[in-house]
Amino acid sequence: MAAINYFKTTAKIITGAKSITTLPQEIKQLGGRNVFIITDEGIIKAGICDQVIQILKGSVKAVSVYGSVPPEPPLETIADCLEQARQARCDLIIGLGGGSSMDVAKVISVLLTNKKPLNDLIGINLVEKRGIPKILIPTSAGTGSEVTPIAILTDCSENLKKGIVSDYLFPEVAILDAELTISLPPLATAASGIDALIHAIEAYTSVNATSMTDHLALRAIELIVSNIRSAWANGNNIEARMKMLEGSCLAGQAFANAGVTAVHAFAYPLGGEFHVSHGVANAVMLCTVLRFNLLANLSKFGTLGKVLCPDISSTDNKVLANGGILFLEELIADLQLPKTLRELNVPREAIGGMAEGVMKVTRLLANNPRKITLADAVSIYQSVY
Ligand SMILES: [Fe+2]
């Protein structure tokens, strides 16, 4: 008998250049009058927040802005932002930016209705009530946070990433407007785009992949690999930017349901200890982890290779899989992303501790197609040095 699988995603996704102009009508439908925008300094400096405020003029009673979400947002950011959201008496939240701003928006939305401290919501399905309505607007094609029920925060006292997972974190609406992503610089375009590609590859090869997530992941891979170079080389290429946003959204839908695997697990210690950005850390680990994993599911890694390199004529899955990895190595080189831990100034002596860190990311290792031992983790980091 076929397995029964669940698939969850954001209820309404609006796409297209200038789709941000639909914002007033979406807010009206959700009954919002006092709007609270959560964003970061880069988005404010780029004028994107002002652009959104301008669009809202005359259609809502009040707009307030929390404009200082840092990357890898610490728990303290939530307390600060929550205080301002309460003072604003907001009834609708907009998360405008990358994954950090969208994640903070999700958390503030549920903290305003659940009379519980933040610490009591950290974990899986601990949020009891729906939050106030939220609309998420990504300004980079990467995290897919607009379609995931997850928010990741940093506990600086323990130097740990902590997650809230709840269906109540899905926004009511996501708006994907490529025009909001054109000011993203090449390095951030490459790093966030590779992160999205890795979401799709890992969702496709996760042990929890389903037929639904496979369809989304494979299309996401096609969209991203055929547009990431153009978006990186010319940020004003609206068509490439739109395809990248759609690809990262499909990848987000796939991994929200199938999970990500060991590439992300190996990237976490690089972010936590050496503050390497999430996309760059993932890019550095990608090909070595895939080479390790491919024997666990040659059929899927072979299909992945065929999607990445349609011109390979072989029917041997191992040949196809290796061809796909060579394609990814060339892609990472074209985008001028680092390829080794040495380039990231990570000392060789740190490998043992980082490998132990990987073994603690059991939530992601459980999704990985191949079992990983501590000795494997050490040898994978050594291969990337
Ligand atoms: Fe990621």
Q: Whole-angstrom Cα distance, residue 300 to residue 214?
A: 10
- Beta carbons of 217 and 209 less than 8 angstroms apart: yes
pTM listed for this prediction: 0.96
Q: Do 192 and 151 belong to one domain?
A: no
What is the three-class DSSP state of 168?
helix
pLDDT at 272 over 90: no
173 & 192 share domain: no
CA distance 286 to 325: 9
pLDDT in tens, 303-314: 999 999 999 999
Same domain, 247 and 377: yes
Å from CA of 252 to ligand 1 middle: 9
Distance from the CA of 140 to the center of ligand 1, in angstroms?
Answer: 13
Q: Are residues 169 and 210 in the same domain?
A: no
pLDDT at residue 161 above 90? Answer: no
pLDDT at 341 over 90: yes
Q: Is residue 242 part of a domain?
A: yes
DSSP-H helix ranges across 58-185? 75-87, 99-111
pLDDT at residue 74 greater than cutoff 80: yes
CB under 5 Å of ion ligand 1: residues: 195
Ligand 1 centroid–CA 109 distance in Å is: 22
207 and 192 in a single domain? The answer is: yes
Final residue of a domain: which of 132, 157, 181?
A: 181
Which one of 112, 147, 181 terminates a domain? 181
Considering only CA atoms, which of 12, 13, 16, 10 is closest in space to residue 241? Answer: 16
pLDDT the model gives residue 154: 87
| 323 Cα–ligand 1 center, Å | 24
Distance CA 289, CA 190 (A): 19
The residue with tokens 């209820």 is 11
Question: Quick one: angle between helices 211-225 and 298-308, nearest 10?
Answer: 30
User: How high is the pLDDT of residue 1?
Assistant: 59
Enclosing H/E stretch for 68: none
The alpha carbon of 202 and the centre of ligand 1 are apart by a number of angstroms equal to: 10
Residues 102 and 212 in one domain: no
Is the pLDDT score of 172 beyond 80?
A: yes
Gap between the Cα atoms of 292 and 94, Å rounded: 41
d(CA 80, CA 66): 9
pLDDT in the model for residue 155: 85
Q: Who wins on pLDDT, 275 or 82?
A: 82
Least confident range from 114-123, 152-161, 187-196, 356-365: namely: 152-161
Describe the chain by its helix, strand, coil percentages, rounded to 5: 55, 10, 30
> Residue-wise over 35-71: b if at least 16 C-beta within 10 A, else e?
bbbbbbebbbebebbeebeeebeeebeebbbbbebee
Please state, rounded to an integer, the average pLDDT across all residues of the chain.
Answer: 96
Tell me the sheet residues that pair with 161: 154
Query: What separation in Å is there between the alpha carbon of 24 and the centre of ligand 1?
Result: 31
Whether residue 1 is contained in a domain is answered as no
Question: What is the CB neighbour count within 10 angstroms for residue 134?
Answer: 27
282 located within any domain: yes
Assess whether 171 and 221 both reside in one domain.
no
Looking at residue 44, which CATH number applies to its domain? 3.40.50.1970
Domain hosting 328: range is 186-384
Sheet containing strand 160-165, strands side by side: 123-124, 160-165, 150-155
- Residue 77, token pair as written in the block: 């950011």
Same domain, 196 and 54: no
DSSP character string of 260-301: --HHHHHHHHHHHHH---HHHHHHHHHHHHHHHHGGGGHHHH
Place of tokens 């909001």: 180
> Which residues share a beta bridge with 96?
137
Cα-to-centroid distance, 142 and ligand 1 (Å): 7
Instruction: Report residue 54 as tokens.
Output: 């301008």
Give the confidence band of 88 by pLDDT, cuts at 50, 70, 90. Answer: very high
Are residue 285 and residue 356 in the same domain, yes or no? yes
- Residue-wise pLDDT for 46-70, tens only, equals 999 999 999 999 999 999 999 999 9
Report yes or no: 206 and 260 within 8 Å, Cβ to Cβ. yes
Does residue 223 sit in the same domain as residue 168?
no
Q: Distance, CA 143 to ligand 1 centroid (Å)?
A: 6
C-alpha 218 to ligand 1 mean position (Å): 17
Centroid of chain to Cα 24: 26
Q: Is 287 within 8 Å of 332 (Cβ atoms)?
A: yes
Q: Would 360 be classed as within a structural domain?
A: yes
Domain membership of residue 205 (yes or no) is: yes
From ligand 1's centre to the CA of 89, what distance in Å? 33
Of 149, 181, 213, which residue constitutes the final position of a domain? Answer: 181
* pLDDT tens digit sequence for 206-237: 999 999 999 999 999 999 999 999 999 999 99
Interatomic CA distance for residues 282 and 194, integer angstroms = 8
10 Å Cβ neighbour count for 287? Answer: 21
Residue carrying the six token digits 């850390």: 281
The whole-angstrom separation of Cα 304 and Cα 322 is 10
Q: How far apart are CA 148 and CA 151, in angstroms?
A: 8
Residue 286 and residue 324 in one domain:
yes
Residue 120 backbone phi and psi in degrees, to 5: -75, -10
Question: How close is the Cα of 272 to the center of ligand 1, in Å?
Answer: 14
- The alpha carbon of 150 and the centre of ligand 1 are apart by a number of angstroms equal to 12
Q: What pLDDT score does 43 carry?
A: 97
Cβ atoms of 270 and 376 closer than 8 Å: no
Tally the domains of the chain.
2
Ligand 1 centre distance from Cα of residue 282 (Å): 7
Amino acid identity, residue 243? Answer: K
Residue 237 lies in a domain: yes
Gap from CA of 260 to ligand 1 centroid (Å): 8
Percent of the chain, pLDDT > 70? 99
Please say whether the beta carbons of 130 and 109 come within 8 A.
no
Q: Is residue 328 part of a domain?
A: yes
Q: Is residue 159 predicted with pLDDT exceeding 80?
A: no
* Domain at 213, CATH number: 1.20.1090.10
In a domain, 6, yes or no: no
CA of 105 from ligand 1 middle (Å) equals 18
163 and 308 fall within a common domain: no
Q: How far is CA 1 from CA 4, 67, 83, 181, in A?
A: 9, 52, 52, 45
